[in-house]
Protein backbone atom coordinates (compact mmCIF):
# COMPACT_ATOMS: atom_id res chain seq x y z
CA UNK A 1 0.00 0.00 0.00
CA UNK A 2 1.16 3.59 -0.49
CA UNK A 3 3.28 4.92 2.35
CA UNK A 4 0.90 7.78 3.15
CA UNK A 5 -2.07 5.42 3.58
CA UNK A 6 0.04 3.10 5.73
CA UNK A 7 1.02 5.99 7.98
CA UNK A 8 -2.62 7.10 8.22
CA UNK A 9 -3.66 3.60 9.28
CA UNK A 10 -1.02 3.31 11.99
CA UNK A 11 -2.00 6.73 13.35
CA UNK A 12 -5.61 5.53 13.53
CA UNK A 13 -4.45 2.28 15.14
CA UNK A 14 -2.51 4.25 17.75
CA UNK A 15 -5.61 6.33 18.47
CA UNK A 16 -7.71 3.18 18.71
CA UNK A 17 -5.28 1.62 21.16
CA UNK A 18 -5.25 4.77 23.31
CA UNK A 19 -8.81 4.14 24.49
CA UNK A 20 -7.37 1.59 26.93
CA UNK A 21 -5.22 4.28 28.51
CA UNK A 22 -7.39 7.41 28.31
CA UNK A 23 -11.16 7.71 28.64
CA UNK A 24 -12.57 9.49 25.59
CA UNK A 25 -16.27 9.05 26.32
CA UNK A 26 -18.65 8.36 23.42
CA UNK A 27 -15.86 9.04 20.91
CA UNK A 28 -14.27 5.72 21.85
CA UNK A 29 -16.68 3.78 19.62
CA UNK A 30 -15.59 5.72 16.53
CA UNK A 31 -11.92 5.55 17.53
CA UNK A 32 -12.17 1.78 17.96
CA UNK A 33 -13.87 1.21 14.60
CA UNK A 34 -11.93 3.64 12.38
CA UNK A 35 -8.69 1.64 11.82
CA UNK A 36 -10.39 -1.43 10.30
CA UNK A 37 -12.93 0.75 8.47
CA UNK A 38 -10.07 2.72 6.90
CA UNK A 39 -8.35 -0.52 5.87
CA UNK A 40 -11.61 -1.69 4.30
CA UNK A 41 -11.57 1.30 1.97
CA UNK A 42 -7.92 0.57 1.15
CA UNK A 43 -8.84 -3.03 0.37
CA UNK A 44 -11.54 -1.88 -2.05
CA UNK A 45 -9.05 0.29 -3.89
CA UNK A 46 -6.00 -1.98 -3.94
CA UNK A 47 -7.06 -5.64 -3.72
CA UNK A 48 -10.44 -5.96 -5.42
CA UNK A 49 -9.07 -6.48 -8.93
CA UNK A 50 -7.20 -9.64 -7.90
CA UNK A 51 -9.14 -10.99 -4.92
CA UNK A 52 -12.63 -9.72 -5.68
CA UNK A 53 -14.44 -8.64 -2.54
CA UNK A 54 -13.09 -11.43 -0.29
CA UNK A 55 -10.34 -9.38 1.33
CA UNK A 56 -12.79 -6.49 1.63
CA UNK A 57 -15.16 -8.85 3.45
CA UNK A 58 -12.35 -10.05 5.71
CA UNK A 59 -11.27 -6.65 6.96
CA UNK A 60 -14.77 -5.15 6.73
CA UNK A 61 -16.14 -7.74 9.13
CA UNK A 62 -13.26 -6.81 11.42
CA UNK A 63 -14.63 -3.25 11.54
CA UNK A 64 -18.11 -4.61 12.33
CA UNK A 65 -16.63 -6.85 15.02
CA UNK A 66 -14.72 -3.97 16.56
CA UNK A 67 -17.93 -1.94 16.74
CA UNK A 68 -20.00 -4.77 18.21
CA UNK A 69 -17.48 -5.90 20.82
CA UNK A 70 -17.13 -2.36 22.13
CA UNK A 71 -20.88 -2.18 22.77
CA UNK A 72 -22.31 -3.57 25.98
CA UNK A 73 -24.60 -6.59 25.97
CA UNK A 74 -24.52 -10.31 25.29
CA UNK A 75 -26.08 -10.01 21.85
CA UNK A 76 -23.51 -7.40 20.79
CA UNK A 77 -20.77 -9.78 21.88
CA UNK A 78 -22.31 -12.59 19.84
CA UNK A 79 -22.57 -10.30 16.82
CA UNK A 80 -18.90 -9.42 17.22
CA UNK A 81 -17.83 -13.06 17.27
CA UNK A 82 -19.98 -13.83 14.20
CA UNK A 83 -18.50 -10.83 12.37
CA UNK A 84 -14.94 -11.98 13.00
CA UNK A 85 -15.92 -15.52 12.03
CA UNK A 86 -17.21 -14.22 8.67
CA UNK A 87 -14.03 -12.16 8.36
CA UNK A 88 -11.88 -15.28 8.67
CA UNK A 89 -14.05 -16.99 6.07
CA UNK A 90 -13.54 -14.03 3.76
CA UNK A 91 -9.76 -14.13 4.13
CA UNK A 92 -9.77 -17.90 3.70
CA UNK A 93 -11.79 -17.62 0.48
CA UNK A 94 -9.41 -14.92 -0.81
CA UNK A 95 -6.28 -17.00 -0.27
CA UNK A 96 -7.64 -20.45 -1.16
CA UNK A 97 -6.17 -20.37 -4.70
CA UNK A 98 -2.60 -21.04 -5.81
CA UNK A 99 -1.72 -23.22 -2.83
CA UNK A 100 1.85 -24.46 -2.60
CA UNK A 101 3.30 -26.89 -0.07
CA UNK A 102 6.89 -26.61 1.13
CA UNK A 103 8.58 -28.21 4.16
CA UNK A 104 9.10 -24.77 5.71
CA UNK A 105 5.41 -23.93 5.35
CA UNK A 106 4.58 -27.28 6.92
CA UNK A 107 6.72 -26.48 9.96
CA UNK A 108 5.14 -23.03 10.31
CA UNK A 109 1.64 -24.52 10.14
CA UNK A 110 2.51 -27.28 12.63
CA UNK A 111 3.98 -24.86 15.17
CA UNK A 112 1.02 -22.50 14.84
CA UNK A 113 -1.51 -25.33 15.21
CA UNK A 114 0.27 -26.58 18.33
CA UNK A 115 0.12 -23.03 19.68
CA UNK A 116 -3.64 -22.89 19.00
CA UNK A 117 -4.18 -26.24 20.73
CA UNK A 118 -2.12 -25.21 23.76
CA UNK A 119 -3.92 -21.88 24.19
CA UNK A 120 -7.34 -23.48 23.67
CA UNK A 121 -6.61 -26.20 26.21
CA UNK A 122 -5.36 -23.67 28.77
CA UNK A 123 -8.38 -21.44 28.24
CA UNK A 124 -10.84 -24.37 28.49
CA UNK A 125 -9.19 -25.61 31.69
CA UNK A 126 -9.34 -22.16 33.25
CA UNK A 127 -12.95 -21.48 32.21
CA UNK A 128 -14.10 -24.89 33.46
CA UNK A 129 -17.84 -25.16 34.01
CA UNK A 130 -18.47 -21.42 33.48
CA UNK A 131 -18.75 -21.99 29.72
CA UNK A 132 -21.92 -23.66 28.46
CA UNK A 133 -21.91 -26.33 25.77
CA UNK A 134 -23.36 -24.02 23.07
CA UNK A 135 -20.70 -21.41 23.88
CA UNK A 136 -17.99 -24.07 23.78
CA UNK A 137 -19.26 -25.30 20.42
CA UNK A 138 -19.30 -21.76 19.03
CA UNK A 139 -15.78 -21.06 20.26
CA UNK A 140 -14.56 -24.37 18.83
CA UNK A 141 -16.06 -23.49 15.44
CA UNK A 142 -14.40 -20.08 15.57
CA UNK A 143 -11.00 -21.60 16.36
CA UNK A 144 -11.36 -24.16 13.55
CA UNK A 145 -12.29 -21.49 10.99
CA UNK A 146 -9.49 -19.20 12.14
CA UNK A 147 -7.01 -22.08 11.96
CA UNK A 148 -8.24 -22.98 8.48
CA UNK A 149 -7.76 -19.38 7.36
CA UNK A 150 -4.18 -19.48 8.68
CA UNK A 151 -3.41 -22.72 6.81
CA UNK A 152 -4.74 -21.33 3.52
CA UNK A 153 -2.87 -18.03 3.98
CA UNK A 154 0.42 -19.79 4.70
CA UNK A 155 0.02 -22.24 1.80
CA UNK A 156 -1.08 -19.47 -0.57
CA UNK A 157 1.61 -18.92 -3.19
CA UNK A 158 2.32 -15.22 -3.09
CA UNK A 159 4.97 -12.71 -4.08
CA UNK A 160 5.12 -11.55 -0.46
CA UNK A 161 5.25 -13.14 3.01
CA UNK A 162 3.00 -10.45 4.48
CA UNK A 163 -0.18 -12.50 4.04
CA UNK A 164 1.18 -15.52 5.93
CA UNK A 165 2.62 -13.28 8.66
CA UNK A 166 -0.71 -11.47 9.04
CA UNK A 167 -2.66 -14.70 9.48
CA UNK A 168 -0.30 -15.91 12.21
CA UNK A 169 -0.41 -12.56 14.00
CA UNK A 170 -4.21 -12.72 13.92
CA UNK A 171 -4.06 -15.98 15.87
CA UNK A 172 -1.58 -14.50 18.35
CA UNK A 173 -3.92 -11.52 18.78
CA UNK A 174 -6.93 -13.72 19.56
CA UNK A 175 -4.79 -15.76 21.94
CA UNK A 176 -4.47 -12.64 24.10
CA UNK A 177 -8.23 -12.72 24.65
CA UNK A 178 -8.13 -16.39 25.64
CA UNK A 179 -5.39 -16.00 28.24
CA UNK A 180 -6.12 -12.50 29.56
CA UNK A 181 -8.86 -13.59 31.97
CA UNK A 182 -6.50 -15.99 33.70
CA UNK A 183 -3.77 -13.42 34.20
CA UNK A 184 -3.18 -11.30 37.32
CA UNK A 185 -4.99 -7.94 37.25
CA UNK A 186 -1.67 -6.10 37.24
CA UNK A 187 -0.76 -7.57 33.84
CA UNK A 188 -4.15 -7.49 32.11
CA UNK A 189 -3.73 -3.96 30.76
CA UNK A 190 -0.38 -4.85 29.20
CA UNK A 191 -1.94 -7.97 27.70
CA UNK A 192 -4.82 -5.95 26.26
CA UNK A 193 -2.47 -3.43 24.69
CA UNK A 194 -0.33 -6.20 23.22
CA UNK A 195 -3.47 -7.85 21.86
CA UNK A 196 -4.60 -4.71 20.07
CA UNK A 197 -1.14 -4.04 18.63
CA UNK A 198 -0.97 -7.54 17.15
CA UNK A 199 -4.57 -7.30 15.92
CA UNK A 200 -4.07 -4.03 14.05
CA UNK A 201 -0.76 -5.23 12.64
CA UNK A 202 -2.36 -8.51 11.52
CA UNK A 203 -5.14 -6.71 9.65
CA UNK A 204 -2.63 -4.35 8.06
CA UNK A 205 -0.32 -7.17 6.90
CA UNK A 206 -3.19 -9.13 5.37
CA UNK A 207 -4.46 -6.13 3.41
CA UNK A 208 -0.99 -4.81 2.52
CA UNK A 209 0.11 -8.27 1.39
CA UNK A 210 -2.99 -8.68 -0.75
CA UNK A 211 -2.43 -5.19 -2.21
CA UNK A 212 1.18 -5.98 -3.09
CA UNK A 213 0.19 -9.25 -4.73
CA UNK A 214 -2.59 -7.51 -6.64
CA UNK A 215 -0.08 -5.01 -7.98
CA UNK A 216 1.79 -7.80 -9.81
CA UNK A 217 -1.38 -9.60 -10.91
CA UNK A 218 -2.05 -9.89 -14.65
CA UNK A 219 -5.72 -10.60 -15.49
CA UNK A 220 -6.24 -13.81 -17.54
CA UNK A 221 -7.66 -11.89 -20.51
CA UNK A 222 -4.63 -9.61 -20.75
CA UNK A 223 -2.32 -12.60 -20.26
CA UNK A 224 -4.07 -14.41 -23.13
CA UNK A 225 -3.82 -11.36 -25.42
CA UNK A 226 -0.11 -11.01 -24.61
CA UNK A 227 0.50 -14.70 -25.35
CA UNK A 228 -1.31 -14.47 -28.70
CA UNK A 229 0.75 -11.44 -29.69
CA UNK A 230 3.93 -13.35 -28.92
CA UNK A 231 2.75 -16.24 -31.10
CA UNK A 232 2.07 -13.85 -33.95
**For 70, which DSSP code?**
H
Residue 232, domain member (yes or no)? no
**43 in any annotated domain:** yes
The model's pTM is 0.90
Residue 192: the pLDDT is: 83
Q: Would residue 150 count as lying in a domain?
A: yes
Residue 231 lies in a domain: no
Assess if residue 68 is contained within a domain: yes
The pLDDT tens digits for 115-166 are: 999 998 888 777 665 667 777 788 889 999 999 999 999 999 999 999 999 9
Question: Residue 224's pLDDT is what?
Answer: 45
Would residue 146 count as lying in a domain? yes
Provide the 3-class DSSP secondary structure of residue 156.
strand
User: Which residues of the chain, if any, have pLDDT below 50?
Assistant: 223-232
Q: What is the pLDDT of residue 211?
A: 96
Determine the pLDDT at residue 226: 47
Cβ(92)–Cβ(145) below 8 Å: yes
- The pLDDT of residue 130 is 65
Total domains in the chain come to 1
pLDDT of amino acid 223: 47
**What is the residue range of 82's domain?**
3-226
* Beta pairing partners, 76: none
- Alpha-carbon distance of 56 to 203, in angstroms, equals 11
Helix (H, G, I), strand (E, B) or coil at 197: helix
Amino acid sequence: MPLLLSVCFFVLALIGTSIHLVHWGTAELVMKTMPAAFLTLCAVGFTRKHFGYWVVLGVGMGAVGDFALWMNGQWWGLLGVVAFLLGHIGYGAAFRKNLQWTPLKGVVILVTVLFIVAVSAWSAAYAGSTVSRPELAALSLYVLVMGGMMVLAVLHKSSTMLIAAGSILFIISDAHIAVRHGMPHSTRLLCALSGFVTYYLAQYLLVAGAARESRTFVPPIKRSISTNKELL
